[in-house]
Amino acid sequence: MRLTKSTSHAIRILIDCARAGEQLIKVAELSERLEITPQNVFKIVNLLARARLIEAMRGRNGGVRLARPAAQIRIGDVVRATEVTRVAIEEDGAAVVRGRGHGVNRVLDDALDAFIDVLDRHTIADMVRSQTPPASPGRGKTRSAARSATLIGNRSRRALHDGG
């Protein structure tokens, strides 16, 4: 199964919220930090709020945060909130409703259920632990160290192109 960008963005938003703990995060901050358009962040936040995965507070001091601990938010929950998780293939000229079908629909439903079952074994907390936090300004390399690394990289590339 191929997941949409919306699901990827939703997981990234939830990871960012998990890192923030109880602190509210503004949609504009999410948009800038995750490099997702504000319109897409609003759309995804709405989906996640309807699925009760995040809380959204309106107003000047508003923002979003996880509705429950990251260890209780399964990746399968995120996929259910953002993807179409029903399969209906026409059989004999009529679309068969999920659960009542047979043949191809039953096979596809079983496969989709197995896929979601695997995702349900993993949580947002697992994703936070497995992902390295993004470098913040002021932390990590200093500007001069970063500049030096860039210069060294450029020299190495020149040496390769010039024959050593």
Residue found under tokens 């020299």: 155
Helix (H) or strand (E) holding 107: helix 104-119
Question: Residues 77-105: pLDDT tens digits?
Answer: 999 999 877 766 665 555 555 445 567 77
Domain ranges of the chain: 5-84+123-133, 134-164
Predicted local distance difference test score (pLDDT) of residue 152? 40
Q: What's the CATH architecture for 5-84+123-133? A: Orthogonal Bundle (1.10)
Does the structure show a pLDDT above 70 at 110?
yes
Predicted local distance difference test score (pLDDT) of residue 105? 76
Q: Helix 5-20 vs helix 27-34: angle between axes, to the nearest 10 degrees? A: 110
